[in-house]
Amino acid sequence: MKTPAIVSEFREGLAQGKLLIQHCQDCDKPNMWPRYACPHCQSENLGWLQSKGEGVLHSFCVLRQGAPAGYEEDLPYAIGVVKLDEGVQLLVRLEANRPDDWSDYLCDDRVSFVAVDAAEAERRPCAQFRRSPG
């Protein structure tokens, strides 16, 4: 399946170990997920900036059964909503703290972006995060 142009730079960033967020070059505000026009000023003059990759875990869920079609082989896995320090939020995968175990995670934990290799970024084009140390 061809990658939609609106997410291609985000996905290319993941494959290079970078978390990119869309950025309006007219009003200087971040947008996530990417849009065709800035939700703040309606400008179509949008680009990408590299996020610092730090944020807060708002919510998460560990899937142990009932994965969507095509994701069965990933079970178990965890997804979460992270609010980045830049002020935007996104859906992420959470790295297990021990094999198949996410019990160390709590909502409002500080979390950090984890670069994955290009093959994994291609297979699952979703940012991966882990609990920040400390």
* Residue ranges that bind Zn ion, judged by CB under 5 A: 24, 26-27, 38, 40-41, 43
Smaller CB distance to Zn ion: residue 29 or 110? 29
Q: Please, what is the minimum distance in Å from the beta carbon of residue 21 to Zn ion?
A: 13
Smaller CB distance to Zn ion: residue 40 or 52? 40
Smaller CB distance to Zn ion: residue 37 or 75? 37
**Among candidate residues 17, 25, 78, the one with its CA nearest the CA of residue 53:** 17
Q: Please, what is the minimum distance in Å from the beta carbon of residue 25 to Zn ion?
A: 8
Smaller CB distance to Zn ion: residue 17 or 30? 30
Q: Please, what is the minimum distance in Å from the beta carbon of residue 88 to Zn ion?
A: 13
How far apart (Å, rounded) are the C-alpha atoms in residues 102 and 38?
36
CA distances from 82 to 4, 44, 58, 85 (A): 23, 26, 6, 9
DSSP letter at 98 equals B
Tell me the β-bridge partners of 103.
none
Q: Please, what is the minimum distance in Å from the beta carbon of residue 5 to Zn ion?
A: 19
Give Cβ neighbours of residue 89 (< 8 Å, ≥ 6 apart).
32, 55, 58, 81, 82, 83
